[in-house]
């Protein structure tokens, strides 16, 4: 097997987590600790607001496998590698609000992009309309969806039968089409479309992709600065569903720590350098200085949301009835992930 082009950090299991406070090992205890974390005043002159840093583990609740857990992809499949940037460009995974041009870097509405996709691919539009009319998208039950003619893969992609995959057409970046940019050599790119407006060869620019940072892609400076400003303008940091294995994520948590911000981490399995994030913390604190929880977000976050909405006092352990009632928030949580 050839050596990967990019190094994948921390593919082995991280060290076990040390739960803090110790009572946070149970669901009621974790809710109480996180409630105290949020309602306690920020230390010093730090703002009262909190900033949230999330990772791919947040999507496990929607059916995706994790990467670095006991049953994670890197653990189960030693030869696995992520989808690299050139492969991502062939697909339209991710971010549903905007697309960005890989050449000129301008962003455009995903809704307008989808309308153009429907115009360029009428067969696909017809299949989607049929699925909508059947009510297949009105249920979360995969069995019922399949019965109504719609199969959804764990990553959220819809598998439409008889769909013409080999002739799928994409619109071009409108800015590059009207004014082709120059390449690194100073020569002008070629951007052409067919009579329907679909990008075609020999075009060398004007390709649109979801406006997210993909594996192997550098983070733009304005995104880095925006993330740093979010940390600098908050008084607490909540980390959810990430091992902080990538430096871009770890440095933000380290920045928060250097500012003296209390940090709460919700993630299954160990965290990169987590012993340092909680070093020097009072062993008798109850969540106001920091929290480390290793419970499923699918159970914890909806229950925490209910506790915060109902303003359950940190000293009060939520009753079984209140925990069951909180599960009604799961739908909201999963909608947030989609």
Alpha carbon 302 to chain centroid distance?
17
Contact yes or no for 20/278 (Cβ under 8 A): yes
The CB density around residue 86, as the number of other CB atoms within 10 Å, is 9
Catalytic residue among 93, 187, 222, 225: 93
Tokens at 61, concatenated: 């609740």
How many residues belong to the chain? 338
**Rounded to an integer, what distance in angstroms lies between the CA atom of residue 262 and that of residue 37?**
8
Binding site members:
101, 104, 173, 176
**DSSP reduced 3-state for 323:** helix
**Rounded to an integer, what distance in angstroms lies between the CA atom of residue 298 and that of residue 317?**
19
**Rounded to an integer, what distance in angstroms lies between the CA atom of residue 156 and that of residue 137?**
12
Give the bridge partners for 209, in sequence order. 100
Nearest to 274 by CA among 10, 8, 14: 14
Binding site members for Zn(2+):
101, 104, 173, 176
Say whether 93 is catalytic.
yes
Tokens at 49, concatenated: 């607001």
Nearest to 289 by CA among 315, 311, 265: 265
Nearest to 135 by CA among 146, 119, 121: 146
Contact yes or no for 235/48 (Cβ under 8 A): yes
Nearest to 128 by CA among 155, 156, 153, 158: 158
The CB density around residue 196, as the number of other CB atoms within 10 Å, is 12
Q: Strands, DSSP E only, in the chain?
A: 50-54, 98-101, 107-109, 151-152, 158-159, 192-193, 199-200, 208-210, 236-240, 263-266, 290-293
The CB density around residue 144, as the number of other CB atoms within 10 Å, is 13
Residue with tokens 């409108």: 174
Q: List active site positions.
A: 93
């Amino acid at each position: 097997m050839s050596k990967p082009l990019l190094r994948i950090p921390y593919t082995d299991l991280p060290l076990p987590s040390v739960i803090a406070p110790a009572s946070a090992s149970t669901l009621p205890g974790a809710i109480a600790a996180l409630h105290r974390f949020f309602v306690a005043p920020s230390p010093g002159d730090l703002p009262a607001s909190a900033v949230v840093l999330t990772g791919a583990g947040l999507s496990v609740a929607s059916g995706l496998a994790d990467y670095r857990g006991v049953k994670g992809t890197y653990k189960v499949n030693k030869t696995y590698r992520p989808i690299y940037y050139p492969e991502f460009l062939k697909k339209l995974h991710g971010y549903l609000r905007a697309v960005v041009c890989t050449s000129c870097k301008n962003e455009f509405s995903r809704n307008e992009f989808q309308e153009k996709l429907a115009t360029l691919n009428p067969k696909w539009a017809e299949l989607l309309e049929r699925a909508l009319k059947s009510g297949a998208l009105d249920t979360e039950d995969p069995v019922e969806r399949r019965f109504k003619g719609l199969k959804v893969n764990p990553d959220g992609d819809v598998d439409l039968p008889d769909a013409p995959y080999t002739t799928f057409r994409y619109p071009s970046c409108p800015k590059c089409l009207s004014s082709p940019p120059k390449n690194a050599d100073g020569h002008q790119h070629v951007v052409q479309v067919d009579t329907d407006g679909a990008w075609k060869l020999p075009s060398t620019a004007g390709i649109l992709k979801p406006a997210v940072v993909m594996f192997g892609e550098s983070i733009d400076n304005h995104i880095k600065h925006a993330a740093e400003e979010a940390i600098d303008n908050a008084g607490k940091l909540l980390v959810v569903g990430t091992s902080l294995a990538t430096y871009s994520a770890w440095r933000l948590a380290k920045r928060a720590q250097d500012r003296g911000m209390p940090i709460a981490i919700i993630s299954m399995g160990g965290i990169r350098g987590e012993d340092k994030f909680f070093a020097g913390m009072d062993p008798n604190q109850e969540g106001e200085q920091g929290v480390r929880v290793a419970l499923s977000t699918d159970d914890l976050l909806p229950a925490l949301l209910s506790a915060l909405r109902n303003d359950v006092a940190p000293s009060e352990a939520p009753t079984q009835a209140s925990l069951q009632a909180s599960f009604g928030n799961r739908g909201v949580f999963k909608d947030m992930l989609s």
